[in-house]
C-alpha cells in the first residue's frame, strides 16, 4: 500500500495529533517548494523563514479541510492552501512600499480603461500616453512592479459571487468543484484560454513556463537569454493584459 495513502487511512480512522503530525511531516516539502518559488521575487527584507511559517499554517489548514470525496489530489489542494496562506501573510506584512503599490494600481487602471475604450489590448505607446510618460519610463515602471505579479495573480476577481476566484485559480486545477462551480470554472477557463492566445508569443511563453511548467524567473531568463528584470517586465505586462480582459468578461 502507498505510504501516504496508509497515513491518510490511519488519520481518518483516528484523527489524533500523532497521526496528523505524521501527515504534516510527509507533506512538509510542499511548504518549502511553495515558499521558495514565491521568495524568488521578493525584496531582501522579506525572510524565507516567515514564508515557511505562513506555509505551515496553510498545510495544516489543508489537512483539516481535505475531503477525499471532493479533492482527488491532496498535493494539488495543499499547494493552493499553502500559497494562499503565504500570500495572506505577505499582505499582512505589507512589504510593498506605498509608492510602488500606487504605481502598480495606476498602470493596471490604464490597461483596464484602455481595454474598455479600444475593445482590445492597448499598445505600449497608448498606455504610456494615457499615463503621461514615454515608453522608456513605462518599461522602467513595469520592471519596478514586475514582482507584484506574484501578488496580483492571487488577488480576487469579482465575479459577483461570495467566493471570489483569482487569476491563479484559473491556471491551476483544484480538482474540487461542485457541479455548478465546475460549469463556471470551465467557462472561465475558456475565457482565459482565448485571451492567452491574444498575447504575444514571448508573453505567452513566459506565462506558460512560469505557471504551467513552474519555472522560476531566473530559470526562464536563462532559457530565453533575457535578464530577470526583462522577464519580470514582460510577465507583469502579460498579467495586466489578462486581468483587464477577464475584468471586462465579468462586468459585461
pLDDT at res. 26: 92
pLDDT at 216 over 90: no
pLDDT at 181 over 80: no
Partners of residue 156 on adjacent β-strands: 166
Q: How far is CA 12 from CA 8, 15, 19, 57, in A?
A: 6, 6, 9, 20
Provide the grid cell at 88. 495572506
Domains and CATH numbers, the chain: 3-93 (1.10.1740.10), 98-251 (1.10.10.10)
pLDDT at res. 58: 92
pLDDT at res. 129: 92
Q: What is the rounded distance in angstroms from the CA atom of residue 122 to the CA atom of residue 124?
A: 7
To which H or E segment does residue 165 belong? strand 165-166
Q: What is the mean pLDDT of residues 20-48?
A: 84
Q: Chain-wide mean pLDDT for the chain?
A: 76
Q: What is the mean pLDDT of residues 89-116?
A: 79
Q: Which of the residue ranges 63-67, 117-121, 185-189 has the most confident prediction, judged by mean pLDDT?
A: 63-67
pLDDT at res. 190: 62
Lowest-pLDDT choice from 24-28, 90-94, 122-126: 90-94
Backbone phi, psi, residue 238, to 5°: -65, -40
pLDDT at 153 over 50: no
Q: How far is CA 66 from CA 46, 164, 166, 226, in A?
A: 30, 20, 20, 41
pLDDT at res. 71: 58
pLDDT at res. 112: 84
Greater model confidence, 99 or 89:
89
pLDDT band of residue 249 (cuts 50, 70, 90) is low
pLDDT band of residue 31 (cuts 50, 70, 90) is very high
pLDDT at res. 193: 67
Nearest to 157 by CA among 228, 71, 242: 242
Q: What is the rounded distance in angstroms from the CA atom of residue 22 to the CA atom of residue 25?
A: 5
Q: What is the rounded distance in angstroms from the CA atom of residue 203 to the CA atom of residue 231?
A: 9
pLDDT at res. 192: 66
Q: What is the mean pLDDT of residues 87-91?
A: 81
pLDDT in tens, 37-60: 888 767 667 788 889 999 999 999
pLDDT at 234 over 70: yes
- Residues 59 and 31: beta-carbon distance below 8 Å: yes
Partners of residue 76 on adjacent β-strands: none
How long a stretch of residues is the chain?
Answer: 252
Confidence (pTM): 0.50
pLDDT at res. 147: 58
Provide the grid cell at 247. 475584468
To which H or E segment does residue 142 belong? helix 135-144
Side-chain-side CA neighbours of residue 134 (13 Å):
1
Amino acid at each position: 500500500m502507498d505510504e501516504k495513502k496508509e497515513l491518510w487511512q490511519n488519520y481518518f480512522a483516528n484523527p489524533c495529533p500523532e497521526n496528523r503530525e505524521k501527515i504534516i511531516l510527509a507533506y512538509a516539502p510542499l511548504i518549502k517548494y511553495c515558499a521558495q518559488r514565491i521568495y524568488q521575487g521578493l525584496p531582501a527584507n522579506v525572510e524565507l523563514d516567515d514564508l515557511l511559517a505562513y506555509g505551515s499554517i496553510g498545510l495544516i489548514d489543508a489537512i483539516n479541510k481535505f475531503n477525499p470525496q471532493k479533492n482527488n489530489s491532496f498535493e494539488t489542494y495543499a499547494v493552493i492552501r499553502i500559497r494562499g496562506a503565504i500570500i495572506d501573510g505577505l499582505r499582512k506584512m505589507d512589504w510593498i512600499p506605498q509608492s510602488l503599490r500606487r504605481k502598480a494600481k495606476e498602470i493596471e487602471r490604464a490597461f483596464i480603461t484602455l481595454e474598455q475604450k479600444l475593445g482590445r489590448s492597448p499598445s505600449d505607446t497608448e498606455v504610456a500616453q494615457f499615463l503621461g510618460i514615454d515608453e522608456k519610463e513605462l518599461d522602467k515602471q513595469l520592471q519596478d512592479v514586475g514582482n507584484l505579479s506574484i501578488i496580483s495573480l492571487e488577488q480576487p476577481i469579482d465575479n459577483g459571487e461570495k467566493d471570489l476566484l483569482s487569476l491563479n485559480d484559473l491556471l491551476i486545477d483544484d480538482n474540487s468543484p461542485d457541479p455548478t462551480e465546475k460549469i463556471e470554472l470551465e467557462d472561465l477557463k475558456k475565457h482565459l484560454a482565448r485571451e492567452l492566445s491574444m498575447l504575444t508569443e514571448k508573453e505567452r511563453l513566459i506565462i506558460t513556463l512560469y505557471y504551467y511548467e513552474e519555472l522560476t524567473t531566473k530559470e526562464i531568463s536563462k532559457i530565453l537569454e533575457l535578464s530577470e528584470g526583462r522577464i519580470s517586465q514582460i510577465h507583469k505586462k502579460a498579467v495586466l493584459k489578462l486581468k483587464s480582459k477577464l475584468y471586462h468578461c465579468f462586468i459585461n
